[in-house]
Chains A and B, each alone.
Chain A
């Protein structure tokens, strides 16, 4: 118990003292996570909306596939990206393995199905309300998707949040493709895993506390934004 107490105390001193190593790890974590979620949104939002309003052969297969991919095991994604980016792999020439870019790629693959599947649900619901109006106005398919995405923007924050939660907490894939290299690819989750295995509980705890706080803060901020939008009748 004494060790735990000391570890907590040291963890807080690291946080309060704004430890440089800690800041570097947090910075990289946020960069990788937000980049991956941003890219996943760019792909997943229109993909989900198209699945919601599109009527084409194979649509249901795609819907099931995207939903199934929400539960992709991160280590499997890590392994796949590793094989893709390793020097013997098809994209080995890009020399991306063990770089933050490789981590962003892996996380994007993990987050995109989540964003797309949740977007499909949100857009499908909104489309059932807007469908007759938009068709009576003669709105094109692309115009319909754009209108639905814009009008569902606050509801879609939930999709982005779910993706953010997954990316921020993810450890398996980024460990495999990033390698947890100090000052290069070490992020909060991989650092926690490493420091814990080394028995360095202070840094692990400090990072753990910050990770939880960040997650709460981001969620609270976005939920607050959505609530405000709802009160303003924009959501």
Chain B
């Protein structure tokens, strides 16, 4: 039975987990790319998954999102499996429909079952949230990378999800665009959205995350409050990773 790692929130009042990953295994081509991952994620805040390439961070995110099924193990949500609109996923490379920004947002709301007459008002709110009003009627795919990712972010927030899963959302963005995305993430977290972020950037993890889960070769090696993790990482792999010496 693999040990369940949980974030240490202090001596008392350890919150009940919002998401419990229990012995997750994912095999690809006969090889375990996620290898017995067990983790309790608390009900609020921002958790960053860190680790070198091939650690299994993005796959874990997809497992939580329900996009792929584990070979073994379970994912348990405290209040039952959320509806698709309650668990939003933002990809590293934004996937936008071949439509205007407005139509992209409208499509998501329509998919979530929002009535036609209610959608324009919500689209306007989302455009304002992403500061995208001036770009509303432009084809989404001609926008800059940062603008496209803002569209993807506000689309993810369209139905006020409970969980926001972000897979390196700023990996290919400049600092200004990164700041805009981080502002949206912080706002969502402040509004009570449970955020799980995959990132390679230690600076971003320090700015955004309350706690860090460090993965290496499909195994969870550390789960700790962010300050503690960056101050004194327990595992040799995490120390090497933070020093830039662990690339795979």
Contact = CB atoms under 8 A, between A and B. Distances in A.
Contact of A138 (B83, B98, B139): B83
B112 interface: yes
B111 A138 contact: yes
Given A133-B91, A135-B67, A136-B84, A234 B111 contact: no
Given A137-B108, A138-B112, A132 B95 contact: yes
- Residue among B62, B65, B97 with the most chain A CB within 10 A? B97
A122 to B, nearest CB: 12
Nearest to A137: B111
A162 B88 CA distance: 40
B142 interface: yes
A225 to B, nearest CB: 14
- Residue among B85, B88, B98 with the most chain A CB within 10 A? B98
A235 interface: yes
A136 B88 CA distance: 7
Contacts of A93: none
B91 A138 contact: no
Nearest to A143: B111
A34 interface: no
Interface residues of A, number: 17
B98 A233 contact: yes
Interface in A104-153: 129-130, 132-133, 135-139, 143, 147, 151-152
A139 B111 contact: yes
A147 B98 CA distance: 10
Interface residues of B, number: 22
Given A138-B83, A139-B111, A133 B95 contact: yes
B95 A130 contact: yes
Contacts of B89: 132, 136
Given A138-B84, A138-B112, A130 B97 contact: yes
Nearest to B84: A138
A151 B95 contact: no
A148 to B, nearest CB: 10
A232 interface: yes
B207 interface: no
Nearest to B158: A137
Contacts of B142: 232-233
A175 to B, nearest CB: 42
B245 to A, nearest CB: 32
Interface string A7-24: 000000000000000000
A56 to B, nearest CB: 19
B76 interface: no
Given A136-B65, A137-B85, 15 more contacts: A130-B95, A132-B62, A132-B67, A132-B95, A135-B67, A136-B89, A137-B112, A138-B84, A147-B97, A151-B98, A232-B139, A233-B141, A233-B142, A234-B98, A234-B99
Interface of B: 62, 65, 67, 83-85, 87-89, 91, 95, 97-99, 107-108, 111-112, 139-142
What are the nearest 6 A-B pairs in CB distance? A138-B84, A233-B141, A133-B95, A233-B139, A136-B89, A151-B98
27 contacts: A130-B95, A130-B97, A132-B62, A132-B67, A132-B89, A132-B91, A133-B91, A133-B95, A136-B65, A136-B67, A136-B84, A136-B87, A136-B88, A137-B85, A137-B108, A137-B112, A138-B84, A138-B112, A139-B111, A143-B111, A147-B107, A152-B98, A233-B98, A233-B141, A234-B99, A234-B139, A235-B98
